[in-house]
Homo-oligomer: A and B are copies of this chain.
């Protein structure tokens, strides 16, 4: 088993990565101690696949178990579903010794984490991510959230899980779209924070696309290690370091909002957002901004090639064929949406932009005209 510790003082926990480990969820929970009751939250896609093996592993350890199944999809990251879950926990007399287990992708993890963060002012939760996106990103680091109609992840809390158990084998069952979406976050880590990792991906595109188990285990572990390093230094995104994990996300959130939540998978939006971030850096470089001098046409092509090779879009023009309708991608509309991103401060446009391969910076107060130009 590969164990990656997240060092956060009394909020420390381990990420355990091992193939065929779903049947060990109960063992991991029991080892946390002092657990009276477990509530497993999952969705109606995941429950038929993995609900039984995980449930059995929990019951086998002598823990009381209840299961709550939510509809699959981004629409469940809503205040209505959170409200249902809070009431269910209350009816089950869930208390501060209970543990919520999130079995599923980013939606299940973010929502369950938020419910656990706020029920009785905070109870423990344990992440069992079943999508690539959740395994490499959203299950680690304690960001929990639900969406508002006009703002993704706008309501949430920092609340670290008490543990994360990752079984890379489950990635074999993902749809090709869900798998590619996860790769969008994988490229994000590589392009913005880890040049060696970027080259490893370039050199193994075929194995990645074929979901070679060994490559997948390496990718998941590498991403978790990068995230662990960042989160342990900047848990609450105050120093600027953790903000770098949002490479591609400010543009990406604007695209998700304009298309409608759930209609464009997050990882696709991040991939496109990464392309747009590079275009913006290139534009600033071409105007003489020394910070971006390494971001030339070759850099852009190199990132585009990797993104394309993994089956992800690199132009806004691909959006209609992906989502099945014509979204309003007028530049003015997209710019307006970028300014409501959580990284926005006093209405200023802030972006994480590349400054080299595997290097990025949080750039404050970008001019609207430059952002508009990127969307054109």
Residues on A facing B (Cβ under 8 Å): 36-37, 79, 83, 86-87, 90-91, 93, 95-97, 117-122, 143-145, 148-151, 153-158, 236, 339-340, 342, 344-347
Chain B residues within 8 Å of A154, by CB: 86, 90, 119-120
Task: Assess the A36–B345 pair: CB atoms within 8 A.
Answer: yes
Chain B residues within 8 Å of A340, by CB: 90, 93
Task: Assess the A121–B90 pair: CB atoms within 8 A.
Answer: no
> Does more than half of chain A's interface fall in helix, strand or loop, or is it mixed?
mixed
Chain B residues within 8 Å of A153, by CB: 121
Tell me how far the C-beta of A341 lies from the nearest C-beta in chain B, rounded to whole angstroms: 9
Contact of A90 among B95, B148, B345 (CB under 8 A): B148
A-B contact pairs, 15 of them (CB 8 A): A36-B345, A37-B346, A86-B154, A87-B148, A90-B151, A95-B342, A97-B345, A97-B346, A117-B157, A118-B118, A119-B154, A120-B154, A121-B144, A122-B236, A157-B157
Complex-state Cα separation, A143 to B157, whole angstroms: 14
Chain B residues within 8 Å of A79, by CB: 79, 83
Complex-state Cα separation, A312 to B149, whole angstroms: 46
Chain B residues within 8 Å of A90, by CB: 148, 150-151, 154, 340
Task: Assess the A143–B121 pair: CB atoms within 8 A.
Answer: yes
Complex-state Cα separation, A117 to B87, whole angstroms: 20
Per CB-CB distance, the 4 closest pairs between chain A and chain B, nearest first, are: A36-B346, A121-B156, A120-B342, A90-B151
Task: Assess the A93–B345 pair: CB atoms within 8 A.
Answer: no
Task: Assess the B346–A95 pair: CB atoms within 8 A.
Answer: yes
Chain B residues within 8 Å of A36, by CB: 345-346
Chain B residues within 8 Å of A344, by CB: 93, 95
Given A121-B144, A121-B145, A122-B158, 17 more contacts at CB 8 Å?
A90-B148, A90-B150, A90-B151, A90-B340, A93-B339, A93-B344, A93-B347, A95-B342, A95-B345, A96-B342, A97-B345, A118-B155, A119-B154, A119-B155, A121-B153, A121-B156, A121-B157
